[in-house]
Structure 1
């Protein structure tokens, strides 16, 4: 028998965690069901370009590491080509280059990292060139809607970057710059709230 609507209770709200890891990164949650985690191989072994490691920590509003974050990445190859049909040059993408990845934070330290190749410049709106960047989407317990941001490289020419130039305050633009901490290693911390809060994008 179907109950009248006024007898039905509202479904409890549910954030992304902790089940996000079981569904999207089961190996990290202790479920050995795949030969390899989907999304860990971003560039493939044969794609040309500068091999880099990106690492960082996601901090909450009081400066504590958030230790159950899942991040997805999307980028172009070293020649600025996306492996997607909407890119007119997608047929020329580097061999084995996927351009998409998925990583999670270390449950003890909150550190996340992934290895890829440094992307090239890509055309943006009205064919304006965009500085090399990696798109990031993150979700975690307590975040009901995934957050989108971008990571640029401090050692690239970002002066004419159209998205960065939409951000009026210089200190806010700095939150989107990854810093080289060692040869081939970049650090990009993400702050969800508070002082030096990372700029998030509505896309």
Structure 2
């Protein structure tokens, strides 16, 4: 096991089980994401949620850096979003009107960052999302961050700067300390958007807020 020091103890007890049939059922400990996390998870053009040239398509760039500002060049970003009407192409969203389809707007994308720690998605701007028929979440992208050495993915969100009033009323964004909410709002980058995710900054005020799911 790599999770030990030469003279230290293992974090988890060493098992004496030698056959899988002897193992009981239950949750297994989390393991770090290895250096080949992208294999089998990303497909060619999986960062293009809509084809380039689609009416209304925008580019959204996500960058991942550590507390020193250095790019995390082996990170993988996953996004999940509603369509322009605020509807998810998922059977869990009753507004889909039926079964989710591969032909519909899936709203799911994955991409490996480049050496600058950045990946660009081509997608549509999402709509606001009704919650229980009254509260409304501002248009946003849900982001998952994978990288070598992380026990579990990090969950965060990307909001859009033009939706000032909607962002101010968003019930999830309000869970974040007011001084840090701006860290989840993308900047306009030419005709698209850009958000930098900061991981493990020694100053909590500069580290991107992450959510427990």
- Secondary structure of the structure 1 residue equivalent to 2:84: coil
Q: Distance in 2 between matches of 1:114 and 1:89?
A: 25
Q: Is the 8 A contact 1:68 1:105 kept in 2?
A: yes
C-alpha deviation, 1:37, in angstroms: 2.8
Q: CA RMSD in A?
A: 2.6
The aligned counterpart of 1:74 is: 80
Deviations 1:70-118 (A, max 9, x none): 1111000000010011211113889631111111101x22221111000
- Secondary structure of the structure 2 residue equivalent to 1:191: strand
Cα distance change, pair 47–86 in 1 and its aligned pair in 2 (3 A): farther
Q: Is the 8 A contact 1:44 1:97 kept in 2?
A: no
Residue from 166, 173, 177 that aligns with 2:175: 166
TM-score (norm 1): 0.79
Moved over 2 A (4+): 5-8, 36-41, 43-48, 91-96, 124-127
- Secondary structure of the structure 1 residue equivalent to 2:97: helix
- Secondary structure of the structure 1 residue equivalent to 2:88: coil
1:131 to 2:158 alignment: no
The runs of 5 or more residues in structure 2 that have no matched partner are 1-14, 19-29
The runs of 5 or more residues in structure 1 that have no matched partner are 26-35
Q: Distance in 1 between matches of 2:50 and 2:90?
A: 14
The aligned counterpart of 1:102 is: 110
Count of residue pairs the alignment pairs up: 181
Q: Distance in 2 between matches of 1:155 and 1:197?
A: 23
Q: Distance in 2 between matches of 1:125 and 1:154?
A: 25
Q: Is the 8 A contact 1:190 1:198 kept in 2?
A: yes
Q: Distance in 2 between matches of 1:65 and 1:74?
A: 23
The aligned counterpart of 1:22 is: 39
C-alpha deviation, 1:126, in angstroms: 6.5
TM-score (norm 2): 0.76
C-alpha deviation, 1:163, in angstroms: 0.9
The aligned counterpart of 2:150 is: 143
C-alpha deviation, 1:125, in angstroms: 5.5
The aligned counterpart of 2:188 is: 180
Matches within 5 A, 1:39-118: 39-43=46-50, 50-91=56-97, 96-106=104-114, 108-118=115-125
